[in-house]
Chains A and B, each alone.
Chain A
């Protein structure tokens, strides 16, 4: 009897705790949306008001702050979004393919020195980006001078390195590949499939959840990345959303809070939508990849 009562109270406590922590997580968002809809004079109101009294809109019915954030002389959301998408798409494609290939090598081909090399891959995760940031810069300049391709002033410094596998993704995918039964590849091998064929026709289709996790993580990373674009992009026409928004923020004096919040909402919105759509695959993928070390 007493067990049941504890369970009941435990359940109530769980819900209470969940509601409290979720409110704490979500209130800043609500505040952001609320501020983004307020006209200038309401932004500074104290005590804070949650619902704007009056939402100013332009003649198309778009709230003024959003219209200004999307396109004024000093913001260009269409351009920034396009640039971010280019970098993100090339990075996602490159890192997923190359990491999978490398992970396959580590998971399925028994060769001497494999353990040692895999240890090396994992240990590179410990190298802080700032350590290589400067020299990479010199390398990109050198590549620009000694190869037919321009590097500085293009997106290449941001996405080309992604085509050579990344340690974290290789690790994640290897862990997943190991769980796929050997018999499947053996059967394909007997049918005359080459190693590359097994990788492409057997492994990849079976690894969709893990591949989606890698793709989604990379996309989110590219969407959020700030230091890479800050160091390696040159022209305003190349700015990504992060860099564009930072410029918008740091403009001489200050940009009104409501416009900044509107711009921030616009930057967050696409990833929220993407996350909601990919949510199920994502959580399943993470669970199945397992972190068993």
Chain B
């Protein structure tokens, strides 16, 4: 045992930069992805190092890490940030507001990356306070995935309810009707009725639960007036709608459905296992279905998630951002790498590996015809839609997001009345923001 300990202590992990690249500029790149997504970006990094990097004597060293937002902020505060940070889009306003990010406007323009090069929704998302603080590594649009096999098996019942089994619901009200036809129950060991299969459950997977107001034509934050708008009728309606499923099916049944299985990335994923017939998801779902259950490849379809207020092509458009923290040592070289990822051919390769749509205005025919998600055109169309929404452009978005997520959980558990809870959250978050703004003003005045 002692020998083993000595051996481990003496062992040095191999250095990240290969011998022959020692004299290159080493760009530290922190990324949040793990698993398949990490492998894909590693391929792109390797490509860069072997081509453009070799030419320009730049070597990108990628580290995959958890809690990346926190680690980046803390490293920036310590003066030792990475050269490129793969952040979530939701963090850009906070980081930008605190002066933690380098504006990329000039470097981007010099590389020909301008408004016309991007789809408008992502270009908007990369900006905060009039500055370009990030570029996209991979984006997504959120849509409705539905299990066509379950639809067909229940064709008669759906028709009886006046619904077409060969297409997706087109209004949110219609989605509710599809869902209730597709619910099935069984008698549990306790002698009561339990949900066996659900048509739809708002919290499955629930990743975008706090963005639901988008489909009700409402926003949670008004960027112009710098006010939360949580008491907007659309926001209240959205959370009421979320709660309606717990009221219809019972809070216990919904909890049971949400927690029963082994996890998203598994064969027990509720949509893949067929315990839920419809789900709100991003384009990557196709990859997971294919990985865990290839025989299901032709038993699903994707369509725009229907709006409650009759809007067309409503979507939430999140993305993974690449940014250069203030204090990074190799900004120019870092941007070379970011620009490389933003080349159309490279971007399409990465987005196909991740099974996502492209953020760029121009998309090749090959991308559309060979994409691992056969419904990629749906996601591309959504990304162009004027009803595509970016994340809340609010510097205290991380706090607001946590507050709203807790609120949604309470609403689903029937612990909270949506309207009352939203009113309270409005007061609390607005006070938080006003305080934040006041302090930023003091800092600017004293400078």
Contact check, B34 vs A251: say whether CB atoms are below 8 A apart. Answer: yes
Q: How far is the CB of A63 from chain B (nearest CB, A)?
A: 19
Contact check, A43 vs B262: say whether CB atoms are below 8 A apart. Answer: yes
Please, what's the 1-or-0 string for B1-23, where 1 marks a CB less than 8 Å from any CB in chain A?
Answer: 10001001101010000000000
Q: Which of B8, B13, B75, B288 is the one whose CB lies under 8 Å from A234?
A: B75
Contact check, A251 vs B35: say whether CB atoms are below 8 A apart. Answer: yes
Q: How far is the CA of A250 from the CA of B68 in the complex (A)?
A: 13
Q: How far is the CA of A81 from the CA of B6 in the complex (A)?
A: 12
Assuming the contacts A153-B80, A247-B66, asked whether A85 and B5 have C-beta atoms less than 8 A apart, the reply is yes
Chain A contacts for B265, CB-based, 8 A = 251-255
Contact check, B263 vs A44: say whether CB atoms are below 8 A apart. Answer: no
Please, what's the 1-or-0 string for B265-307, where 1 marks a CB less than 8 Å from any CB in chain A?
Answer: 1111000000000000000000010000000000000000000
Count of residues in B whose CB is under 8 Å from the partner chain: 32
Chain B contacts for A198, CB-based, 8 A = none
Taking the complex as formed, is A237 at the interface, i.e. its CB lies under 8 A from any CB of chain B? yes
Contact check, B8 vs A85: say whether CB atoms are below 8 A apart. Answer: yes
Taking the complex as formed, is B345 at the interface, i.e. its CB lies under 8 A from any CB of chain A? no
Contact check, A141 vs B79: say whether CB atoms are below 8 A apart. Answer: yes
Taking the complex as formed, is B117 at the interface, i.e. its CB lies under 8 A from any CB of chain A? no
Q: How far is the CA of A254 from the CA of B35 in the complex (A)?
A: 10
Q: How far is the CB of A265 from chain B (nearest CB, A)?
A: 17
Contact check, A74 vs B38: say whether CB atoms are below 8 A apart. Answer: yes
Q: How far is the CB of B417 from chain A (nearest CB, A)?
A: 32
Q: How far is the CA of A82 from the CA of B288 in the complex (A)?
A: 34
Closest A residue, CB atoms, query B34: A251
Q: How far is the CA of A255 from the CA of B36 in the complex (A)?
A: 12
Assuming the contacts A152-B80, A153-B80, A273-B1, asked whether A253 and B63 have C-beta atoms less than 8 A apart, the reply is no
Quick one: which of A234, A237, A256 has the most chain B CB within 10 A?
A234
Q: How far is the CB of A215 from chain B (nearest CB, A)?
A: 14
Contact check, A236 vs B63: say whether CB atoms are below 8 A apart. Answer: yes
Taking the complex as formed, is A137 at the interface, i.e. its CB lies under 8 A from any CB of chain B? yes
Closest B residue, CB atoms, query A244: B66
Taking the complex as formed, is B37 at the interface, i.e. its CB lies under 8 A from any CB of chain A? yes
Closest A residue, CB atoms, query B67: A230
- Given A81-B8, A137-B74, A144-B79: 16 more A-B contacts, CB < 8 Å: A74-B35, A78-B11, A82-B13, A85-B9, A141-B79, A153-B75, A235-B63, A235-B65, A236-B63, A236-B65, A237-B13, A247-B66, A251-B265, A254-B262, A254-B264, A254-B266
